[in-house]
Amino acid sequence: MIFNTFAYYLAFLLPSAALYRIAPAGLRTWVIVLFGSGFFLYFAYGMAGVWGAACLFIFVWESLTSRLYRPASRWCLLGMVQSLLLLGVFKYWNFFTSLVFLHRANPVRWQGAFLPLGISFFTFEFYHYAWDRRAGKTEAGSLDEYLAFILFFPTMVAGPIKRYQDFLPKLRAQPVEWNRDWERGVTRILTGLVKKFAIADLLTAWTNHLNAHDILLADRRILPLWLLAYGVKIYADFSGYSDIAIGSARLFGIRVPENFNWPYGRRNIQRFWECWHISLTRWLIDYIFIPLGGSRVAPLRVYANILIVFLLSGLWHGAGLNFVVWGLWHGLLLCGHRLWRRLRGAPSPHPLAALSSSALTFVLTNAGWAFFCMDLHTAMLFFRRLLIG
C-alpha cells in the first residue's frame, strides 16, 4: 500500500499540505487537484503509464459529466449507471464472464485487465454525488471543488468514503487552527503506522499459513489461532490505513468521517457493523438498503434486503465467490440477530449475558474471515479440518 512508503509523505503529503496552508483561498482546491491527479498519474502507475492515463480519463470524464447533474435530471441516472459500468468493467469483467463460461475456457477474458487503485472507493463517491444531486440533497459546487472532492488523495486509496455535502463546507472554510490540526494529524498518522508495522505486519508470519498446503499438514488445534491472527491483522491493517487517511486529511484542516470504533467486543453483529468500516456501512444503508424499502416493508422483505446488501458488500470487497459467501455469512448473521430480537425482545442487562453475547459475536465474526482471506475451496478445507480433523 502506498501509505507505507516515504514517497507518499515526502513527495505528496507534506509538500501539498504545506502549499495548501500558504496558498490563497481561491487556489487551495487546485493544490488538492494538482497533487491528487499527480498522485495517480506519476506515483501509482508511473509517469508514462497507459494505466495512469486511463485512470485520469475516468476522473476527467466523470467530473465533466457531473456538471450536467440537476435535481430530478436523467443525467444523474446516466452518471450512476456509468459509475457502476466502469467499476464492473475494471473490477468484475473477468469474474462475471468466468461464471458464464463455467468449466470452459473464457473466450472474452480481458487478459490485460488492471484495477485502478482505489476504484471501489471513488466509484461510490461518484455514485453518491449523482444520486444526491438527483434527490436535491447537495449543491453542484464548482468544477474545482468537485475535482478536489474526488481527487482528495488521502482518502482515494482506502477511504473513508466521503459525502460531498459534508466535504464541501470544510473545503470552503478558512482553517484557523493550523497548529492544532497538524498536531492531531501527525499523531493520528503515527497511530496508523504503529498499527500497520507493529501489529499487522508482525502477524503476517501466522496468517501466511492460511493456505491449503499448511492447513492440511498443521495440527488442527493451531488453526483457530491462525484465523484469529488474521482477524486481528485485518483490523490493525485497515483501521491503521484509515487512521493515516484521517490524519493526512487533518493536515489540510479537513475532517473526514471516522471509519472504525473498536468493533471487536461489540455485543451483537449489528453493533459490529455500526463500528466496522463505518463509512461503507452508512453508504450501503443510504443507497441500497433504504431504497429497497429498508425496515419499512414486510419482515421477509427486510431479511431479503439485508441479504442483498451484504451480497453486494461482499462483491464490493473482492471479485470472487469467497467474497460472495463472506457477504452472505454476515447477511445471515444479521438476519438471525434480527429474528432473535423479534422473538426474544430486548437483550438481558445481566453482565454475563452481555459477555457471552460479545464472545459469540467475536467468534462468528472471526469465523467469517476464513471466506475473506482464502478462496472458497481452501476455506471449506479449513473448516473441514477444524471440525472433523
Question: Is the distance from CB of 378 to CB of 240 less than 8 angstroms?
Answer: no
**Nearest of 148, 152, 156, 171 to residue 66 by alpha carbon:** 148
Question: Is the distance from CB of 150 to CB of 39 less than 8 angstroms?
Answer: no
Question: Is the distance from CB of 5 to CB of 245 less than 8 angstroms?
Answer: no
C-alpha cell at position 350 = 445481566
317 is a catalytic site residue = yes
175 by Cβ neighbours in 10 Å (0-12 / 13-18 / 19+) ranks as middle
263: phi then psi, degrees, rounded to nearest 5: -70, -35
Out of 317, 330, 337, 350, pick the active-site residue: 317
- Could you give the CA distance from residue 133 to residue 67 in angstroms, rounded to a whole number? 10
Angle, helices 143-150 vs 50-66, to 10°: value is 130
DSSP labels for 312-327?
Answer: HHHHHH-SSHHHHHHH
**Nearest of 98, 61, 67, 109 to residue 83 by alpha carbon:** 61
- Could you give the CA distance from residue 210 to residue 130 in angstroms, rounded to a whole number? 41
CA 360 to chain centroid, in Å, comes to: 25
- Could you give the CA distance from residue 271 to residue 320 in angstroms, rounded to a whole number? 27
Instruction: Return the active site residues.
Output: 317
